[in-house]
Amino acid sequence: MRISEMPASERPREKLLKYGREALSTAEVLGIIIGAGIGSKSAVEVAMDLLSDPRGGVGFLAECTPEELMETEGIGQARACSIIAAAELGRRITCEPAKVKGAIKCSEDVVDLFMGKMRRYKKEHLIGLLLNPKGEIIEEVVISIGDISSSVSHPREVFAQAVRRCAGSIILVHNHPSGDPTPSGEDIETTERLIEVGRLLGIHVIDHVIIGDGTSVSMVSEGYVSTDC
C-alpha cells in the first residue's frame, strides 16, 4: 500500500507532526528519510526490507556503504547517501559528550562520556583523559589507534601530554571492537606497566575503562588491577 493510500493518521509524516517522533516505528523513521516507495511498495515497506537485512538491521546502517544499501530494491545512490548522512548525524549527536558536572567521580562518568563515541569503532583506540588535582577534565588525548599493546613499549606516548599539561592524574579508556569489554591478559599487563610508570612520574593512573558495545569494564573497580588512588 502506498503511503498516500493510508489513513492520514497512519502516514509517517502526519504521525510525527501530530504525535511526536516517539510515536514512529523505526521503519517509519527510515521511510521518511527514504521519501518515496517504488512500484507497489511504499517507502515504509522499502525501509522494512532494509531493516530485515541479515547483516544487522538498524545497526547495519551505522556501518554500511552506499553500495551495500543499493543492493536493496528501491534504494538508489541518492537515497543511499541520504540514509548514510542521517545515520552519521545520529552518530554525531550520540557522540556529543555528556555533561559531567564538576569532577569525574566514578567510572560511570567516564562511560557516559565515551560509550556513544567508541562503541562502534572498528579499531582499538586508546585515549587518555587528563585530570587536574580536583579531578576535572583538562584534555582528552588520543594516544594510539590500533593494538594498544604497541603503547607499552612507548609509555612516553601515554604520559607526554599529561606531563606537558601538568595533569595530576590520568584515566585510560580504550574500546574492544568485538563488543566484549572483558580485559585480555595483554590489557592487564599493559595497564599494570602504565600504573608503575605513572607512579615514577607522579601522575596517578586512576583507572582503565574498557568500552564494549553497550557494556563496559572498569579494571580497577572490578579488581583486574589496583592503583594507589
- Between 121 and 154, where is the model more confident? 121
| pLDDT(215) > 60 | yes
| 183 contacts 209 by C-beta, under 8 angstroms | no
- Rounded to the nearest integer, the mean pLDDT of the chain is 84
User: Which CATH number is associated with domain 107-218?
Assistant: 3.40.140.10
pLDDT (tens digit per residue) in 148-172: 665 554 678 889 889 888 899 999 9
Q: How many CB atoms are located within 10 Å of the residue 186 CB?
A: 12
Distances (CA, A) of 194 to 65, 108, 204, 228: 38, 22, 10, 13
Report the DSSP beta bridge partners of residue 127: 142, 173
Strongest mean pLDDT among 6-15, 49-58, 100-109: 49-58
| pLDDT(127) > 60 | yes
**Alpha-carbon distance 203 to 39, whole Å?**
65
**Alpha-carbon distance 107 to 216, whole Å?**
9
Q: How confident is the model at residue 197 (pLDDT cuts 50, 70, 90)?
A: very high
Q: How many CB atoms are located within 10 Å of the residue 213 CB?
A: 17
**Alpha-carbon distance 43 to 12, whole Å?**
10
- pLDDT confidence of residue 2: 56
| pLDDT(121) > 90 | no
| pLDDT(35) > 90 | no
- pLDDT confidence of residue 158: 85
Across 67-86, average pLDDT:
90
- pLDDT confidence of residue 56: 64
- pLDDT confidence of residue 153: 45
Across 131-152, average pLDDT:
78
- pLDDT confidence of residue 61: 84
- Domain residue spans of the chain: 3-95, 107-218
- Ordered alpha helix ranges (H), the chain: 12-19, 26-34, 43-51, 66-69, 77-95, 107-118, 155-164, 185-201
Instruction: State the number of CA atoms in the 13 A half-sphere of 85 facing the CB.
Output: 8
